[in-house]
Amino acid sequence: MTARKHLASVIAVLMMTAPSPADGPDKWYRDGRAAVESAKRLAPNRENARNVILFIGDGMGVSTVTAARILAGQIQGTPGEEKVLNFEKLPYTALIKTYNTNQQTPDSAGTMTAMVTGVKTKAGVLSMDERTMRGDHADANARRLTTILELAERAGLSTGIVTTSSVTHATPAALYAHSPERAWQSDGNLPGEARSDGFPDIARQLIEFAEGNGVDVVLGGGRAFFLPDFLRDPEHSEISGQRRDGRDLTAQWVKSERAVYVWNKSQFDAVDASATDRLLGLFEPDHMNYEHDRASDKASEPSLSEMTARAVDLLSKNSKGFFLMVEGARIDHAHHATNPFRALTETIEFDKAVAAAKKKTNSGDTLIIVTADHGSSMTMGGYATRGNPILGKVVHNNARGEPASGPARDALGLPYATLNYAAGPGYHGASAEQPEGTKRFPHDGDGFRPATIPRPDLSDVDTQDPDYLGECMIPLGSGVHSGEDVPLYAGGPGAYMFHGVLEQNVIFHVMADALGLAGPERQ
């Protein structure tokens, strides 16, 4: 049975029976009391960490976490609301402020720079300070910021990067690259002056990374940025490399001792950890497939949880410890497409990656941090009854507090979904003309105004279809980030330092302190 058919069958069962708490009020009371007793036993671990794993759910705001939690439970045949994700079991939490120094609503380059350097900066800039003029490479060296990965390499720790995006995309790139423009992923993306001046593109900076013995494990997408433009992609013959300098950077990687390069799952599965110290895996020309679509990939590629487990195995060989960053990148990409199904299933796979890392490490010596660089504009609302399919249309409770017999209707008499977006390609405005008989609905404080552009009628639309695009208020070619705080979850040595509402750059300082790494002194 396919994942989609399984989900559909589970949802059908949920629709037939109204969920109810197993033990009623006594259970709620006992569970609440147990939570208090558990909290009393929580003691901070003030020892230094041997390892740090930073998980970034790109675009994973609070609404995404909540909706993914419910979907994960519903896939397992429960109402969903009481489900607890693996990373939600981590004992310490905080809210993180995400703005860039020049933007109220941030981008991933600026937010990741804050997390891995301890310094906030502009949108679009990678590990360079806010005095950087975006796209100007002239004073790049003077604006460089030291990253947690660079500090770890200097201290002799092993380091790794795992992502479902291109490994040269903003979030992973901020760990090893210093660039005034996040889009400079290969030399083919460089403007003429930067190319003629020999400014290194992001892919080149990864391969030529000079701290320690270089990054030890890099797994994700982005083959095209490492291959010359005269080479065809090994999986997609219609695609060529993007490098104009004639260099094959994957060939340069394997020149290192005990270094391996792989580009498909069979090669990945065959890697001998005992004989491999450095592993580069690039599984697509650009971003990797969504988890939902991974099974149809012609060459096959590993899942995020599989890549995470392999990275931990390889990095754990170093007795001094390791630093690893794992990104669920395509959560954000699905949100940009206003595609709630893929955004949530990506989040569920991201949670499995956290579980894989927890299983392979010791909470006594490994600090695990799970957070997001920013949120998305997806909302969850509409007073749906308990256990209502999270991807479905809203069904209210009736006057008796029991599920109604059909979907709720808006002021125009149309059904609507629980998950929607503020802006993006899911906009479906039907007409600028108000049809005869259009209903009117309340407007803030001053009577009524007409609904001049009617919503689409979703009565015969399957909002649980994997390809359904959530409704949007504003038509845009791509969905947008949100500017609100994002959640952070942590456990292990130093995790107790996360509490309250924190600036995003504090994350770096907690990681450095936990590892006992001294960062650069700044005035």
Q: Cβ contacts of residue 489 below 8 Å, gap of 6+?
A: 87, 88, 90, 92, 93, 369, 370, 371
CA–CA separation, 149 vs 127, rounded Å?
A: 11
Q: What secondary structure letter does DSSP report for 324?
A: E
Q: Determine the Cα angle at 398 with ends 393 and 400, to 5°.
A: 150
Does the annotation count 363 as an active-site position? no
Q: Using CA atoms in the order 18, 19, 23, 26, what is the torsion angle rounded to 10 degrees?
A: -100
CA–CA separation, 438 vs 247, rounded Å?
A: 63
3 state DSSP class of 267? helix
Selecting among 63, 108, 179, 186, the annotated active-site residue is: 108
Nearest of 231, 254, 251 to residue 242 by alpha carbon = 231
Strand 472-475 relative to strand 501-503, pairing: unpaired
CA–CA separation, 214 vs 253, rounded Å?
A: 10
Secondary structure (H, E, C), 203-256: HHHHHCCCCCCCCCEEEEECHHHCCECCCECCCCCCCECCECCCCCHHHHHCCC
Q: Which residues pair with 282 in a beta bridge?
A: 220
Q: Cβ contacts of residue 480 below 8 Å, gap of 6+?
A: 105, 336, 376, 377, 422, 423, 424
CA–CA separation, 84 vs 68, rounded Å?
A: 10
Q: Cβ contacts of residue 352 below 8 Å, gap of 6+?
A: 86, 303, 304, 305
Give the residue numbers annotated as catalytic, written as ranges.
Answer: 108
